[in-house]
Amino acid sequence: MNLERYFSDYSRHLSVEGNLLLLDALSERIREAKGRGGKLLLAGNGASASISSHLAADFSKQAGVRAMAFNDANLITAFANDCGYENWIVRALEVYADAGDLVILISSSGRSENVVAGARRAREMGIPVIAFTGFDRDNPLGLLADVNLWVDSRSYNIIECMHMIWLTAVCDLLIGSSEYSVAG
């Protein structure tokens, strides 16, 4: 593996003009949701769940946007036990989603059954779906989303890091700066 080529992949993904426009539009959608009293609901599996958790905290604490991540072990295991693992996000949306919310679903492949089922249910509920995906452009999650921020890569680490960078950039856009106090 060549580190120079590895890091040039990140640079290539950072400067995709279409995605930059989508990120700007996403920040506006979040602003609008906040203005109407909506919240962000975030979910994913594995590293995507960690990204969801991190960003739910940042959006809430730093940007003043109510946000919650569906990754509490009790929530996941209770809903998965009752409804099946492929439907636990569906059930979480049924319990927590309200009109005016935005759902952000993260899946590197865009093919995780539970995440795709969540997107399908959010659409049925009339709640906009924002997807962060990778691998194939025409993945099931991306096709269900109102907005799909797609990383043209097959590397899990690159895809996950780009999702994290893009979501923190949107948070900073809402704050209006990338440098700010995290105290109180």
Is the residue at 62 inside a domain?
yes
Q: Over 80: is that where the pLDDT of 181 sits? A: no
Is the residue at 15 inside a domain?
no
Taking a C-beta distance cutoff of 8 angstroms, is the pair 122, 92 a contact? no
Give pLDDT tens digits for 30-53.
999 999 999 999 999 999 999 999
- Assign 15 a pLDDT band (cuts: 50, 70, 90): confident
Residue 132: give the domain boundaries. Answer: 30-175
Distance CA 130, CA 158 (A): 19
* pLDDT at 176 (0 to 100): 85
Sheet with 67-69: strands ordered across: 67-69, 40-44, 102-107, 129-133, 147-150
Is the residue at 1 inside a domain?
no
Taking a C-beta distance cutoff of 8 angstroms, is the pair 131, 151 a contact? no
Is the residue at 112 inside a domain?
yes
* pLDDT at 184 (0 to 100): 57
What CATH number has the domain bearing residue 99?
A: 3.40.50.10490
Give pLDDT tens digits for 100-117.
999 999 999 999 999 999
Residue-wise DSSP of 42-56? EEESTHHHHHHHHHH
* pLDDT at 142 (0 to 100): 97
Is the residue at 25 inside a domain?
no
**Mean predicted confidence (pLDDT) in 13-40:** 91
What's the total number of domains in the chain?
1
**Mean predicted confidence (pLDDT) in 147-151:** 95
Supply the mean pLDDT for the chain: 94
Residue-wise DSSP of 61-120? HTT---EEES--HHHHHHHHHHH-GGGHHHHHHHHH--TT-EEEEEESSS--HHHHHHHH
Q: What percent of the chain has pLDDT above 70?
A: 99
* pLDDT at 183 (0 to 100): 62
